[in-house]
């Protein structure tokens, strides 16, 4: 058995070495003529605006948290799955209790709306967050500025916005 | 803390597995390995004895254990690298040919017979291309990322049994190991996306991370079902448990909940490998090339190779745990080397069939939207796979004994059900296909010129 895990170690190391060996072999035959334009980040030919190492959407963090809970669940269920037929009824009840508690967590997250990628806030749902009513934000930040939408001819006029007191485009 | 948790889990499951292995009477893998046997054979061979005689010794000296293990593993890894490269190149060729067929064009057919050497030619071309590391990139991570991805792909192959007793290793925690190591590739992808200092790459990597993490849950849960049925985490032992009925007693036919679990596993595997319709991390119409936008030349080819290697690997795991591994009706009529060769062929053909299915799906279905992808993993696949686990465990506990000791009607129930469901679904799809083909409006909308030419 220890031989098996040693084997895995050798596989991992060889995988790493394989890539570097190929890079070295390739380095002998490939051209290397860097220019500043060639080395700049690719943004479809435009000049690069700002750094890419930016703050990122909090939703990814929530996703990771939810995953963590279920990953632990799966890790605990594997030993259970091995022996469930042998132990029988007792294992069944214990396993289902465990799964039920975790399902409760899934239901909570579901009702709270954290499973939705595009958030729709609903204050009527218990536990929902009450925020200002606005169109769903796109992935890269909030809704587009009103001035921009007006320039494109799709935004609301200023008077409309003032009279109705709305925020964002309708 | 997580390390101690993993250790205790490992010890616990190893102990439990010993018990269950004894209870089921399953043949556990022998302690020796064929690579070690090969070394021993070389040591005692005629040539080695002659050479030892020249040195004044009676027989070639035995290697120390660690050296033998290292050389044995080296042999195995050499074979695996060759195998992975060939399989990946063949899959790339297959993908391009199938895509050509589906899109009414020819596909690569110039390099070698049927264009089979196209991937090799592409590899040589990529090797000769300039290697660019963007000036703003984090060089260390940028260089390390493809290596990590490649290493994880190779390490996963360590646990896959291709034939009885001829696996590279037979890890006793195979399933858990594969689920764990496949997460390593995700870290490599995030490293690639983050270190590139490119917005496309960053978005691609973040999407990839979120998607893979969401689909790892249904993937892991649906893998629990064959573990419940077989009572082992070792892929080789699981394949051995499916050898009854002259090689057709697959897990698929042992429990009625294995078929839905397999479907869920397959969908989750598509998402894990970022295959269409879940290829949001690399969707070219939104993110150029996703996390590998900045990678060029041979560095890019490692990501490409890994994608196809991972496709084959996910198919191989599905084959070993759901579709009977190397077992096929009538295969046990063969003996010795022929048996091993036939088992290898059966395993590779079954896995390649699943790869073909993935390719077919990619060129047939349109890409999903990012929010649909994110919602589907948790809201549909996870509850459904939990239902499968519950159903399978209830069924197994109710049956109470291993499959071969059950009454005959219970053994026959699942195969009849599976074939019945497949027949009904097939008939429905066929009817639908005939009806949609009979409607001239849809066809004229898609290809008006072809429709006009037909009249």
Question: Residue A146's pLDDT is what?
Answer: 60
Residues 5-24 of chain A whose Cβ lies under 8 A from any Cβ of chain B? 5-16, 18-20, 22-23
Question: Residue B424's pLDDT is what?
Answer: 93
Question: Residue A138's pLDDT is what?
Answer: 46
| Residue B157 to residue A11, Cβ atoms within 8 A | yes
Q: Which residues contact B293 (CB under 8 A, 6 or more apart)?
A: A42, B196, B198, B200, B201, B204, B287
CA-wise closest residue to B77 among B137, B25, B154, B152: B154
Q: Domain ranges for chain B, please list them.
A: 141-416
pLDDT of residue A133 exceeding 60: no
Question: Residue A51's pLDDT is what?
Answer: 76
Question: Residue A162's pLDDT is what?
Answer: 44
Dist CA B52 CA B49 (whole Å): 5
To the nearest whole Å, the CA of B434 is away from the closest chain A CA by 37
Residues of chain B with pLDDT under 70: 1-36, 165-170, 440-455
In chain A, the DSSP E strands lie at none
| Residue B217 to residue A106, Cβ atoms within 8 A | no
Dist CA B162 CA B313 (whole Å): 11
Whole-number Cα distances in Å, A71 to A92, B11, B178, B260, B366: 20, 19, 14, 21, 30
Dist CA B314 CA B156 (whole Å): 10
CA-wise closest residue to B85 among B137, B38, B150, B40: B150
Structure tokens at B225: 């079902």
Q: What is the ipTM of this complex?
A: 0.72
Question: Residue B5's pLDDT is what?
Answer: 45
pLDDT of residue A140 exceeding 70: no
Tell me the average pLDDT across A136-161: 51
The residue among B74, B130, B211, B402 with the most chain A CBs within 10 A of its CB, best to mutate, is: B130
> CB–CB of B388/B257 below 8 Å?
yes
Q: What is the pLDDT of residues A13-45, one digit of tens each?
A: 888 888 888 888 888 888 888 888 788 778 777
Give the N- to C-terminal CA distance of chain A in Å, as an integer: 65
Dist CA B86 CA B79 (whole Å): 11
Helix (H/G/I), strand (E/B), else coil: B357: helix
Question: Residue B30's pLDDT is what?
Answer: 41
Q: What is the pLDDT of residues A60-79, one digit of tens each?
A: 888 888 888 888 888 888 88
Identity of the residue in A4, A32, A85 whose CB atom sits nearest the CB atom of B171: A4
Share of chain A above pLDDT 90, in %: 0
Chain A residues near residue B6 by CB distance under 8 angstroms: 75
The residue among A24, A79, A88, A108 with the most chain B CBs within 10 A of its CB, best to mutate, is: A79
Chain A residues near residue B73 by CB distance under 8 angstroms: 6-7, 9-11
Identity of the residue in A10, A12, A29 whose CB atom sits nearest the CB atom of B128: A29
pTM (predicted TM-score): 0.79
Average pLDDT score, chain A: 72
B40 exposure class (CB count in 10 Å sphere: 0-12, 13-18, 19+)? middle
Chain A residues near residue B148 by CB distance under 8 angstroms: 16
């Amino acid at each position: 058995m220890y031989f098996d895990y040693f084997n895995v170690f050798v596989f991992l190391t060889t995988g790493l070495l394989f890539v570097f060996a190929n890079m070295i072999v390739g380095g002998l035959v490939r051209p290397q003529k860097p220019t500043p334009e060639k080395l700049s980040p690719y943004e479809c030919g435009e000049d690069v605006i700002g750094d890419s190492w930016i703050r990122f959407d909090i939703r990814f963090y929530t996703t990771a948290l939810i995953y963590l809970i279920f990953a632990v669940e799966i890790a605990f269920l594997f030993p259970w799955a091995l022996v469930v037929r042998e132990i029988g009824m007792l294992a069944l009840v214990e396993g289902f209790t465990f799964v039920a508690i975790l399902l409760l967590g899934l239901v909570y997250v579901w009702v709270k709306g954290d499973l939705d990628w595009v958030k729709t806030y609903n204050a009527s749902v218990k536990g929902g967050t009450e925020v200002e009513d606005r169109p769903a934000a796109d992935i890269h930040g909030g809704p587009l500025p009103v001035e921009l939408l007006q320039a494109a001819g799709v935004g609301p006029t200023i008077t409309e916005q003032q009279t109705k007191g709305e925020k964002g485009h309708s | 803390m997580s390390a101690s948790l993993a250790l205790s889990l490992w010890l616990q499951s190893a102990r439990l597995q010993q018990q269950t292995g004894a209870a089921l009477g399953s043949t556990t893998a022998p302690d020796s390995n064929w690579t070690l046997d090969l070394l021993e054979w070389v040591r005692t061979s005629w040539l080695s004895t002659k050479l030892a005689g020249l040195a004044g010794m009676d027989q070639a000296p035995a290697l120390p254990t660690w050296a033998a293990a290292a050389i044995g593993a080296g042999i195995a890894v050499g074979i695996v690298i060759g195998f992975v490269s060939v399989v990946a190149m063949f899959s790339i060729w297959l993908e391009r040919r199938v895509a050509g067929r589906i899109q009414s064009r020819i596909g690569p057919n110039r390099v070698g017979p049927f264009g089979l050497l196209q991937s090799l030619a592409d590899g040589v071309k990529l090797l000769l291309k300039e290697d660019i590391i963007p000036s703003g990139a984090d060089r260390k991570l940028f260089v390390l990322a493809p290596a990590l991805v490649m290493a994880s792909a190779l390490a996963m192959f360590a646990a896959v049994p291709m034939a009885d007793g001829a696996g590279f290793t037979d890890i006793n925690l195979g399933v858990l190991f594969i689920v764990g190591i496949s997460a390593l590739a995700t870290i490599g992808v995030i490293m690639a996306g983050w270190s590139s200092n490119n917005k496309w790459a960053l978005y691609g990597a973040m999407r990839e991370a979120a998607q893979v993490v969401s689909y790892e849950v249904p993937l892991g849960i649906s893998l629990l079902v064959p573990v419940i049925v077989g009572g082992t985490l070792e892929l080789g032992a699981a394949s051995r448990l499916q050898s009854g009925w002259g090689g057709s007693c697959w897990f698929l036919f042992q429990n009625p909940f294995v078929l839905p679990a397999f479907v869920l596993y397959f969908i989750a595997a598509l998402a894990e490998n970022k295959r269409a319709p879940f290829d949001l991390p690399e969707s070219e119409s939104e993110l150029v090339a996703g996390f590998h936008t900045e990678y060029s030349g041979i560095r890019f080819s490692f990501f490409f190779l890994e994608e196809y290697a991972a496709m084959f690997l996910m198919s191989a795991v599905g084959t070993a745990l759901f579709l009977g591994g190397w077992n096929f009706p009538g295969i046990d009529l063969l003996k010795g080397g022929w048996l091993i060769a036939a088992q290898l062929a059966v395993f590779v053909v079954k896995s390649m069939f699943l790869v073909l299915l993935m390719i077919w799906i990619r060129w047939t279905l349109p890409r999903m939207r990012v929010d649909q992808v994110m919602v589907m993993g948790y809201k549909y696949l996870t509850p459904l796979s939990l239902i499968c686990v519950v159903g399978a465990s209830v069924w197994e506990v109710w049956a109470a004994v291993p499959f071969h000791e059950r009454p005959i009607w219970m053994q026959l129930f699942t195969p009849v059900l599976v074939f019945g469901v497949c027949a009904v679904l097939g008939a429905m799809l066929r009817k639908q296909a005939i009806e949609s083909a009979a409607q001239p409006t849809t066809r004229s909308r898609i290809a008006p010129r072809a429709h006009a030419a037909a009249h």
